[in-house]
Amino acid sequence: MIRKILIPTLFILFTFASCEKTEDLQANNDCIKVKLIAEICGTAVLQIQDSKYFDLGENNWSSDGGITKYDHVFFTVFSCEDMEYLAQNKNPKNFNIKLNDKFEMGSCAVCLAIIANPPTKKLNISVAKTNCPLIQNG
């Protein structure tokens, strides 16, 4: 009897605990520094640069058969607005993002290629254009 109550209770507790960080970020509208690892046709792999948020990404991801491994990375899709902003800013390698509850692509033409073997962690983001500390591109 205790087992029937304990297991669902623990499951619910862990589910809410795992969502807490994302909800806090959205509520605070925090900026997260990222580095662009790979991008094609608006799909991208980003690496989290701020240790405070490393847990939002996955570790040991590789797109080249294990030759180069990356930690604290995630997969995302850029909106039309974000792709335009990044292109206008000469496709920076380092920039700030904010987390979103849902993804809204917008209306633009996008090729159909995607990153092969993307990270399993996927986050909905938007490129933070204002109200974030400036990042020196490197």
First-residue to last-residue Cα distance in the chain: 58
pLDDT at 66: 79
* Same structural domain, 19 and 61: no
Nearest of 37, 17, 14, 33 to residue 125 by alpha carbon: 33
Can you give the pLDDT of all 138 residues of the chain as single tens digits? 444 443 443 333 333 344 445 545 544 578 999 999 999 999 999 999 999 999 999 999 998 877 899 999 999 999 999 999 999 999 899 999 999 999 999 999 999 999 989 999 999 999 998 777 665 554
| Count of structural domains within the chain | 2
How far is it, in rounded angstroms, from Cα 43 to Cα 115?
7
Q: Residue 28 — φ and ψ, nearest 5°?
A: -85, -10
For 22, the domain range is 1-29
* Same structural domain, 16 and 65: no
Other CB atoms within 10 A of residue 103 CB: 14
* Residue 133: inside a domain: no
* Residue 134: inside a domain: no
How far is it, in rounded angstroms, from Cα 79 to Cα 83?
6
* Same structural domain, 67 and 37: yes
- The tally of CA atoms less than 13 A away on the side-chain side of residue 26 is 13
pLDDT at 97: 96
How far is it, in rounded angstroms, from Cα 6 to Cα 2?
6
pLDDT at 9: 39
pTM of this structure = 0.76
How far is it, in rounded angstroms, from Cα 25 to Cα 82?
19
pLDDT at 132: 76
* Residue 132: inside a domain: no
* Same structural domain, 61 and 105: yes
